[in-house]
Amino acid sequence: MAGSSSHHIKNICVFDGSSPEKEIEFLESTNHLGQVLAERKIHLVYGGGSLGLMGGLSIAVFLGGSQVLRVVPKSLAKGDIIGKIIGEELQVSIMSDRMNAMFNHVDAFIALPGSLGTLEEIFHISSWAQLYIHHKPIGLLNVNGFYDKLWSFLDHAVEQEFLTSSA
């Protein structure tokens, strides 16, 4: 986790996968997170997919009564590539604009299991924290040890002095 925040979190960006998940624990954890966010009236900002964990999370938050903002590049919004709209949609030009828009709409970040896109988002926002571009909290929901090997790699990077332990 990078940074800490003493203010109340009103909007959170969740990075997660859009592929169909095989492990039921991933889906259950995602649904539970969506319910908790809705109970706490925390609004969701996410990458826009309605499939996989993205879809499950957005539906749980929306059905729980919190707002959902889907941020999606126009090229992905065309042709129903990422599925149905849950909540509101903000279309941006390109993927880097998507990250900037999500960043500007939230107070914190959390990552669930996902693929390369999820890892890219985690590292992107974490590098911004390391560069003091922001002090927003960042967390990983380590379902079934999904991120254990990533933590091991980061520990290795610290041991090799490419990364500080505070990062």
**pLDDT reading at 5 higher than 60:** no
Q: Which residue segments constitute the domains of the chain, with CATH numbers given?
A: 11-159 (3.40.50.450)
Q: Calculate ∠ Cα 98-104-40, nearest 5°.
A: 105
What's the mean per-residue pLDDT of the chain?
89
Instruction: Taking the CA atoms of 105, 110, 85 and 42 in sequence, report the sign of the dihedral they define.
Output: negative
- Mean pLDDT along residues 54-80: 88
pLDDT over 70 for what percent of the chain? 92
**pLDDT reading at 2 higher than 50:** no
**pLDDT reading at 86 higher than 90:** no
**pLDDT reading at 39 higher than 90:** yes
Least confident range of 67-81, 88-102, 123-137: 67-81
CA–CA distance, 97 with 48 (Å, rounded to integer): 13
**Could you tell me which residues come within 8 angstroms of residue 97 by beta carbon, excluding any fewer than 6 positions away?**
73
Q: Give the pairing type, strands 11-15 and 108-111.
A: parallel
Q: Calculate ∠ Cα 66-99-129, nearest 5°.
A: 100
Tokens of 166: 């505070």
Q: What is the pLDDT of residue 82?
A: 56
Q: Give the pairing type, strands 108-111 and 138-140.
A: parallel
Q: What is the pLDDT of residue 21?
A: 66
Q: What is the pLDDT of residue 17?
A: 86
Q: What is the pLDDT of residue 83?
A: 59
**pLDDT reading at 80 higher than 70:** no
